[in-house]
Structure 1
Amino acid sequence: MSTSVDDAIRALLLLMPRLVGRVKRTPPPPELASFNLAPRHLSLLAYLLFEGKLGVNELASRLEVAPATVSLMVGDLSRKGILRRREDDADRRRTIVSIAAEHHAAIDAWLGRGAAAWRAALSPLTAQQRRMFVDTLLAYERAIGDA
């Protein structure tokens, strides 16, 4: 079945607001509600949940922001007890960040569903199709940013 560009746009104009709405309607679990987590914290927490312990520079690279930005977020979340930071035993200049054990289950229950949903959606695709999908979303983000 062939889908024209206009047909695909129509489908996405219906789909995207529903996706965004569902994400916005997924409140943090009660045990995290008092922390006033901002959207910028979600990507950081999701990376730590998905990847495990990471250094500040690794987080900055993956989040595509400056290390100073990540340091500020990590400092804020560490003061709230959501994250733990420690020096890397092999390199004392390197800070290792992880989700605090007492909050890991709540964060996993909250953000882990998104990772599982992406895995279900992307697993049937070939590596090339997955790359095309991600590249298409990136191109959309650039185009909407230019508008």
Structure 2
Amino acid sequence: MSSADRTGADPSHDLGVDDGVRTLLLLMPRVVARTKRTPVPPQLEKYNLAPRHLSLLAYLYFDGPLSVTELATRLEVAPATVSLLVGELNGYGVVDRDSDPADRRRRIVGISGEYVEAVRGWLGNGVRAWRTALEPLSPAERRTFIDTLRVYERALTDEREGRGDAG
């Protein structure tokens, strides 16, 4: 399949902003739909988990146990929101809250041993797809791509909250 087939754009000429917008507006709903169809592992189905849970579990899976404050910073939400999510997941037994060995007053959150493989499986398809997309890029190109997605996400939020220009 040629690049033109995958993106809808002719690779022999520069992609203009409007062509890029058109291509992405057509592509993103398909990406989101496929992502939403990622099945929840059988071990986790009964808990009715949502994407917000997967994001929290992804940080714990990739980065290991973290404090609620660290999770809130990474997820860019309030610590109270993370506390609620952690409380919910802890109640299901999916995560453990333990004392930090370096500071016994501090609590850290980690994935319960029996659920590590289920979380890995849930993340697996996305990890493979992102590796396929990102590996051919240079580190600078990866940074540009990720930064672009962040700007896009912020612009969507700004627009929804009346701070953007639909221009």
**Is the TM-score greater than 0.5?**
yes
**Aligned residue number for residue 18 of structure 1:** 30
Gaps of 5+ in 2: 1-11, 160-167
**Aligned residue number for residue 111 of structure 2:** 99
1:28-107 matches, cutoff 5 A: 28-107=40-119
Structure scoring higher RCO (CA < 8 A, sep ≥ 6) equals: 1
Give CA-to-partner distance per residue, 1:67-103, whole Å, 9 cap, x none: 2221221111001010011001220122111111111
SS in 1 for 2:97: strand
The Cα of 1:34 is off from its aligned counterpart by 0.6
Give CA-to-partner distance per residue, 1:118-147, whole Å, 9 cap, x none: 222112222221111111111111222232
The share of aligned pairs that are identical, in percent, is 61
Hey, which bits of structure 1, 4+ residues long, moved more than 6 A?
none
2:24 alignment partner AA: L
Gaps of 5+ in 1: none
**Aligned residue number for residue 144 of structure 1:** 156
1:141 alignment partner AA: E
Greater radius of gyration (CA): 2
The Cα of 1:43 is off from its aligned counterpart by 0.5
> What's the RMSD between the two structures over aligned residues?
1.4
**Aligned residue number for residue 129 of structure 1:** 141
Query: Paired residues, what number?
Result: 147
SS in 2 for 1:97: strand
The answer to whether the 8 Å contact 1:49/1:108 transfers is yes
**Aligned residue number for residue 21 of structure 2:** 9
TM-score (normalised: structure 1) = 0.92
The answer to whether the 8 Å contact 1:82/1:103 transfers is yes
